[in-house]
């Protein structure tokens, strides 16, 4: 009887302090401050990982290459010797990025306007690229759109606009380039940038989750089908990496950033340079045996959210001592 009362008290104390730390310590309403201390164990390296010249005489085509992660991937590929072609809707943004990267690396970066939703525009874009550089050796489907929205507030237009960019846009680019490459008997590496919730689904971003899952199905299908033409297809699922495009539409108040960092076992967000190095490796001659791979790159966020007992991270050593006593004192079932 005494043990049971003790047990209830301990349980209440554990629950209270766990709840307190959830709502106030790591709670979703807290603004970002300094991250968890373990981040110090996992400092990001910034420089290009592959040897200089790894992409000499190669052409890389990157959709959405003017901003964010696409810009970082373009900068790394260009630094490693590639001639890059970047494509998206805003030509002025693309041109500025192209000039900046090219002036740093000394390698040409071409800006081509293209709305990937429009198959005719995609075809014109590829015509333009063929005239500028020839067909590419590396294709990175990175362009995307997304916004957070309760699904009961979603309009058909909202659904269509995201799925048109992400799924149809990736399909139009991949099919247009794939057919021309097959015709010319030229091999290539295709890489798609998806997201960790392509696998799990996620509330409040249902169109993006559905479209990214479709992109993964497309890439796995083509990895099986087009190896015979010299084409590889791989996927990176990034976790959160701060870019203006992503964070302004997914966390417009900034309120969720700390909660996000708190659940990442490596204690920090990713950096654009880290994903650029991974993308460069996957697209390089060092990875010619890699096809059909889906690489989750998220500091451990996905598994951290998935494990049913992971919230026990919040239990302190003293609370563990009390819990152990409770468990040991339990008799029967």
Provide the binding-site residues for ligand NAP, judged by CB under 6 A.
63-64, 66-70, 88-90, 93, 114-117, 142-146, 165, 169, 193, 195, 238, 240-241, 243, 245-246
Q: To the nearest whole angstrom, how small is the minimum distance from the Cβ of residue 150 to ligand NAP? A: 20
Complex with ligand NAP: residue 63 or 133, whichever CB lies closer: 63
Q: Which two tokens stand for residue 255?
A: 């309120």
Complex with ligand NAP: residue 121 or 290, whichever CB lies closer: 121
Please enumerate in sequence order all residues whose Cβ is within 8 A of that of 144, keeping only pairs 6 or more positions apart, or say none: 64, 165, 166, 193, 208, 212
Complex with ligand NAP: residue 39 or 323, whichever CB lies closer: 39
Q: To the nearest whole angstrom, how small is the minimum distance from the Cβ of residue 119 to ligand NAP? A: 12
Known catalytic residue at 197: yes
Q: To the nearest whole angstrom, how small is the minimum distance from the Cβ of residue 256 to ligand NAP? A: 12
Complex with ligand NAP: residue 226 or 247, whichever CB lies closer: 247
CB atoms within 10 A of CB 66: 25
Q: To the nearest whole angstrom, how small is the minimum distance from the Cβ of residue 1 to ligand NAP? A: 54
Q: To the nearest whole angstrom, how small is the minimum distance from the Cβ of residue 86 to ligand NAP? A: 8
Complex with ligand NAP: residue 9 or 242, whichever CB lies closer: 242
Complex with ligand NAP: residue 84 or 322, whichever CB lies closer: 84
- Do the beta carbons of residue 229 and residue 175 sit within 8 Å? no
- Do the beta carbons of residue 44 and residue 274 sit within 8 Å? yes
Q: Which two tokens stand for residue 122?
A: 């995609």
Task: Classify the C-alpha dihedral 259-260-264-270 as positive or negative.
Answer: negative
**Measured distance CA(142)–CA(298) in Å, rounded:** 17
Q: Which of 197, 219, 281, 302 is catalytic?
A: 197
Complex with ligand NAP: residue 165 or 326, whichever CB lies closer: 165
Q: Which residues pair with 138 in a beta bridge?
A: 60, 189
Q: To the nearest whole angstrom, how small is the minimum distance from the Cβ of residue 313 to ligand NAP? A: 23
Q: Which residue is nearest to ligand NAP (CB)?
A: 245
Q: To the nearest whole angstrom, how small is the minimum distance from the Cβ of residue 211 to ligand NAP? A: 9
Q: Which residues pair with 60 in a beta bridge?
A: 84, 138
Catalytic residue numbers read 197
């Amino acid at each position: 009887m005494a043990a049971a009362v003790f047990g209830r008290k301990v349980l209440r104390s554990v629950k209270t302090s766990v709840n307190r730390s959830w709502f106030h310590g790591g709670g979703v309403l807290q603004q970002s401050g300094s991250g968890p201390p373990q981040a110090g164990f996992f400092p990001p390296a910034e420089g290009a990982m592959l040897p200089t010249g790894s992409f000499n005489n190669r052409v890389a085509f990157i959709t959405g290459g003017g901003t964010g992660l696409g810009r970082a991937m373009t900068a790394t590929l260009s630094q490693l010797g590639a001639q890059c072609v970047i494509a998206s809707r805003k030509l002025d943004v693309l041109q500025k990025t192209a000039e900046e990267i090219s002036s740093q690396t000394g390698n040409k970066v071409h800006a081509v306007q293209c709305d990937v939703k429009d198959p005719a525009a995609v075809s014109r874009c590829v015509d333009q690229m063929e005239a500028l550089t020839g067909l590419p050796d590396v294709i990175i489907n990175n362009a995307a759109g997304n916004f957070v929205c309760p699904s009961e507030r979603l309009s058909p237009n909202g659904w269509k606009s995201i799925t048109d960019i992400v799924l149809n846009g990736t399909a139009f680019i991949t099919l247009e380039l794939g057919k021309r490459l097959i015709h010319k008997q030229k091999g290539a590496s295709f890489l798609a940038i998806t997201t960790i919730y392509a696998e799990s689904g996620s509330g409040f971003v249902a169109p993006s989750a559905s479209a990214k899952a479709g992109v993964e199905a497309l890439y796995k299908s083509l990895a099986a089908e087009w190896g015979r033409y010299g084409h590889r297809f791989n996927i990176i699922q990034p976790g959160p990496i701060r870019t203006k495009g992503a964070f302004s539409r997914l966390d417009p108040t900034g309120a969720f950033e700390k909660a996000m960092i708190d659940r990442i076992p490596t204690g920090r967000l990713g950096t654009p340079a880290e994903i650029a190095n991974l993308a460069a490796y996957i697209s390089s001659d060092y990875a010619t045996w890699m096809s059909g791979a889906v690489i989750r790159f998220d500091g451990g966020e996905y598994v951290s959210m998935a494990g049913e007992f992971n919230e026990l991270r919040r239990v302190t050593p003293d609370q563990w001592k009390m819990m152990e006593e409770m468990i040991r004192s339990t008799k029967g079932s």
